[in-house]
Structure 1
């Protein structure tokens, strides 16, 4: 199963292109688009909307958008094509994250701590806010994840969509953005380690248990399952990352 055919979650580009709220609009725009590219929410070869449309969606000035697009181009995430059929496109192979030698225990543990705080909070809210229709979409993602445990790029893309989909269950756009940012930082970490199918299968079994807890309105089970899920990733990082 290829990354392009990974199962889709309810996440839409409306999340990626939601209005920028920060006073530092340039930095937040770079972060938003760069993270979306790294997570595959803006896939390789994707053409971005026209500048005017992007400015309207993000709520920023055209000069700010152009600065952000230039920075992303210089960093290797985007490229511009001139002439008929041209525009700004996502590159075929975005740059990789930091080298292993640049990672420190403090850095990656803080990223895991942030993820724990965000995702456990999401699980708590999802219990009281999720609809059955939303949960059925995530059920389908869990089934799809089982089908691609031998193909880590496809698995990771679907895994990201699952977790961002959990945040969407809360109805909070801020939590969706926070979850997306956490997943982007986690992707930078976990691409450094091996991904045995057994580990992926175990992780997806936890996804299924989490959905069952949410569907049963069991806050305690949702929190404990999410905590177990995230701490499992941290243990793997602790064993395989340098330091």
Structure 2
């Protein structure tokens, strides 16, 4: 059974509530299980990255203008204005003409997001685009590694030794930008998504004990009433016998 993500979960990870959270929670629950992102550990990594990329689940569009991406061949920005037009959008901040085009192809409508890049600012497509990225990059396999595992990754000609959260951060961001915050959100997500079960169990047991205590006086009162009734019946029987004896005399 997959984990259900709530607004309370998102707020706890981000440290605040935002107007986007109800819609994001809805689409996370609809789409993530379809991409086999459904275990607490997988959600911890996935949401940690999303929380950073969206500025605490506050925006689905990059704050910067996008001019910095102008002419970036590695992003497929081959036409004037592509940098601004295809700046970061979605919960993983999909960037560049090539990536927008790839998403349209996956939807079966090649130019869907090229012609309408703002679609990725809608919660449904914002979450879906991240799920697609997660799946095609095999990040569930990385997410299910133990935190202590050391993973090798080539980056700019060097081979790096990375933890799972570091490895995923490099894949999502393309580098180590915001790495400390991503790690922080991951740590918080672990507490929020993997530890609440025990406190709930304790509260459940405490409630059961409390209810049992409430029932106990009722049993005692019933026993007391029965005892009183028995005494009254016994006294009445004795009095009746005494009256009968006097009449015989």
TM tier relative to shorter chain: under 0.3
User: TM-score by structure 2 length?
Assistant: 0.24
